[in-house]
Amino acid sequence: MKKLLGAVVGLVMALSLLQTAQAKTIQVSALEDFNTANPPAVLHVQMNANTRLDYDLMLFQGYQVTGKIVPANGTFAFVPSSYVNFQEEKLPINKEYAAYYKGGNGIIRQNQPFLLVFPDNGADTFQYYVPSSSDINK
């Protein structure tokens, strides 16, 4: 009986890990009012958390992101097209990373947080170089 219970618990944990690996739900804040049932063609948001879209692109908390809106299955997808970094440089986003709106229909007010579900593009496989004391003494 203990083995069966352990197997069920292990299966549930494995499924929950698989589900979290498939998408990243990120909180953003609207930079203008909009209606989720009829969103504008272009939307501006501010990132409320660091989000790595791929190996080369990290959107940090506080970045302002501009994206186009694409209707999708009764909701909408936000496709980031550019962002403004901390040095106030506007930089393009060349790949398409569709993030789907998560929430109910209604009006989102300026500075109101809401959720976007970004695709998970795999685990970060790169490594940071941390010098050791032997590297410093050379």
* Structural domain includes residue 124: no
What is the C-alpha separation between 115 and 24, in angstroms, rounded?
A: 10
* Structural domain includes residue 138: no
pLDDT digits (tens, 9 = 90+) for 48-64: 999 888 888 899 999 99
* Structural domain includes residue 45: yes
Q: Report angle CA 76, 78, 81 to the nearest 5 degrees.
A: 150
Mean pLDDT of the chain: 81
Task: Identify the helix (H) or strand (E) that includes residue 19.
Answer: helix 2-22
pLDDT digits (tens, 9 = 90+) for 117-134: 987 765 555 555 566 666
* Structural domain includes residue 112: no
β-strand pairing of 107-108 with 34-35: antiparallel
* Structural domain includes residue 113: no
Q: Which domain holds residue 101?
A: 23-105
* Structural domain includes residue 132: no
Total domains, the chain = 1
What is residue 36's DSSP assignment?
Answer: T
Query: If you average pLDDT over residues 25-40, what whole number do you get?
Result: 93
What global pTM score does this model have?
0.70
Query: If you average pLDDT over residues 5-9, what whole number do you get?
Result: 49
pLDDT digits (tens, 9 = 90+) for 89-104: 999 999 999 999 998 8
